[in-house]
Amino acid sequence: MLMFLGGLVILLVGYLLYGRIVELVVGVEPKRATPAVVDRDGVDYVEMPHWKNMMIQLLNIAGVGPVIGVILGIKFGAIVFLIIPIGNIIGGAVHDFAAGMMSLRKHGANLPTLIKNCNGSLLAALFSIFMTVLLLLVVAVFITTPAQLCDSLMPQADILWYAVAVIFVYYIISTIFPVDKIIGMCYPLFGALLLIGTLALFVKLMLEAGSNPALLQESAGFRKYMFTAEKHQPIIPLLFVTIACGILSGFHATQSPIIARTMRNEREARSDFYGMMVLEGFIAMVWAAAGLAIYNLFPEQMLKKAPAVLQFLCSHFLGSKVGAIVVISVIILSITSGDTAMRSLRLSLAEIFRIPQKKLSSRVLLCLPIIVVVALLIWWSNISAKSFNLLWNYFAWGNQVLAACTLIAATEWLISRKRNAVITAVPGAFMTFIVLCYILWISPAHGGPVGFGLELHAAQIVAGVLAAAVLGLAIRRGLKMRRR
């Protein structure tokens, strides 16, 4: 109980203090004209109110990660209540803020362009291919997951493919229409539903934990099934791949440029980028607490898949009717990340191939190949549970590769501007270590997809050396950019 409450305090104090430090280091210029003003096109570059931008950014970044991810991640133990807020404040929120500010200063540019500015055309081309594949996986995952949840709400009827079709059609429409139409109109309502559901669960947990503090501690039944290194589930690196949203997620860097194109003033950046990541951290903490509580009460739930646990805990703590509404809010949560992932993919491809997006016909033509590839991924991932798990594993690892690349690029950017790059260098080096360690260690023998299958200690040493080398190259590159 105390660890959970302490984690919430870290999030609040971190936003007020460290968030301000990060803002000062990066340097916000309120008088600088934003891309929404300079490059207005009525489609992607549109001025929107600050409160609406905050809500859109929250829903853009808060996919199923801060719910499904933490329901899985809390199996590592109550230490998660400290790892989430600390990682959020010094890692995830800094990552989102840096990505947003780099985009703001480059006419709302997407990640491939930002990477090209820092690392040249060759690395940018490789990164563009990687990011395109990742976003295709994101869209497929964020169609399949909410469709599966919809299907589970109606066990008497087989509606999976109907749900897939409806969600996919919505994605296409929201990707093509101007940002202030579908997204700008629907997201405030969706955001309110998400926050109300999370707060209802938070209040219920606090009431129950107040009379039974052990509810948010590790019980004997919980420890029997919890993740440990002996079970091929080590905290490093596996936790930081399992829980992305809430701690640090590379996917967020693909979303920040969408808001960078709709902001009226740079002064809004701290609350839009840093603040909404902190709020996502709160959401992750609440759902992690709910997961621990339900596992303590019903340890057998630890053997079930996260979506089934989600439904069970909502029904248990909130009742069948309110619980169903909260599950619907989670479905909406994943949908509102998938649609902007598809939009971000359209914008990135448009930048790469220099295709203007003001005409509707241009947006439609650019979306056609995306639709075909995503449809094939959805079909393949639904062939079997094994296919979907494989899709999810590579999506999760690729997501954190993206985070490491963004933070390393931000480090180079800050050094080139004669700013203190420690704020991005530390989490950047750490995430580089995590993704290298994961791919060096993971293998079917270790309970995951294909990797190099090294022993954990050896993987950690090699990853540490390689991460240090990457950081050294980033510092050198930043200094070289400064001398230009």
For residues 439 and 172, what is the distance between their CA atoms, to the nearest angstrom? 33
Residue 206: CB atoms within 10 A of its CB come to: 15
pLDDT of residue 386: 65
- The CATH topology of domain 2-397 is Amino acid/polyamine transporter I (1.20.1740)
| Neighbouring C-alpha atoms within 13 Å toward the C-beta of 412 | 22
Q: Would you give the end-to-end CA distance of the chain in angstroms? A: 53
Tens digit of pLDDT at every position of the chain (484 positions): 889 999 999 999 999 999 999 999 999 999 999 999 999 998 999 999 999 999 999 988 886 767 888 998 999 999 999 999 999 999 999 999 999 999 999 999 988 888 888 877 788 888 888 888 888 888 888 888 888 888 877 777 788 899 999 999 999 998 999 988 888 788 777 778 778 888 889 999 999 998 898 899 999 999 999 999 888 899 999 999 888 778 999 989 999 999 999 999 999 999 999 999 999 999 999 999 999 999 999 999 999 888 889 889 998 998 888 888 888 877 887 787 788 889 989 988 898 888 999 899 999 999 999 999 999 988 887 776 666 666 667 778 888 999 999 999 999 999 999 999 999 999 999 999 999 999 999 998 888 888 899 999 999 999 999 999 999 999 999 999 887 6
For residues 435 and 430, what is the distance between their CA atoms, to the nearest angstrom? 9
pLDDT of residue 33: 94
φ/ψ (deg, to 5) at 200: -60, -45
State both tokens at 469.
């080398």
pLDDT digits (tens, 9 = 90+) for 269-311: 999 999 999 999 999 999 999 999 999 999 999 998 888 898 8
Dihedral sign (CA 180, 182, 184, 185): positive
Q: Determine contact, residues 254/405, Cβ cutoff 8 Å.
A: no
Provide DSSP, 264-316: S-GGGHIIIIIIHHHHHHHHHHHHHHHHHHHHHH-GGGGGS-HHHHHHHHHHH
pLDDT of residue 387: 64
Which residues, at least 6 apart from 6, have a Cβ–Cβ distance to it below 8 Å? 81, 82
For residues 65 and 359, what is the distance between their CA atoms, to the nearest angstrom? 34
Q: Determine contact, residues 180/48, Cβ cutoff 8 Å.
A: yes
- Burial call 155-189: b when 16+ CB within 10 Å, e when fewer: eeeebbeebbebbbebbbebbbbbbbebbbebbbe
For residues 3 and 427, what is the distance between their CA atoms, to the nearest angstrom? 23
Angle at 438 between CA 455 and CA 425, to 5 degrees: 120
Give Cα 223 distance to the centre of its chain. Answer: 28
Angle at 45 between CA 247 and CA 63, to 5 degrees: 25
pLDDT digits (tens, 9 = 90+) for 18-73: 999 999 999 999 999 999 999 999 899 999 999 999 999 998 888 676 788 899 89
For residues 137 and 398, what is the distance between their CA atoms, to the nearest angstrom? 9
pLDDT of residue 459: 97
Q: Where in the chain are the domains?
A: 2-397
pLDDT of residue 152: 76
pLDDT of residue 426: 97
Residue 24: CB atoms within 10 A of its CB come to: 11
Q: Determine contact, residues 130/333, Cβ cutoff 8 Å.
A: no
Question: 397: alpha, beta or left, given left = phi > 0 and alpha = psi -120 to 50?
Answer: alpha
| Site of tokens 């439609």 | 364
DSSP 8-state code for residue 190:
H
pLDDT of residue 300: 94
Provide DSSP, 99-143: HHHHHHTTTT--HHHHHHHHHHHHHHHHHHHHHHHHHHHHHHHHH
Helix (H), strand (E) at residue 63: none
pLDDT of residue 320: 82
pLDDT digits (tens, 9 = 90+) for 206-244: 999 988 988 999 999 999 999 998 888 999 999 998 887
State both tokens at 248.
């640090």
For residues 53 and 262, what is the distance between their CA atoms, to the nearest angstrom? 7
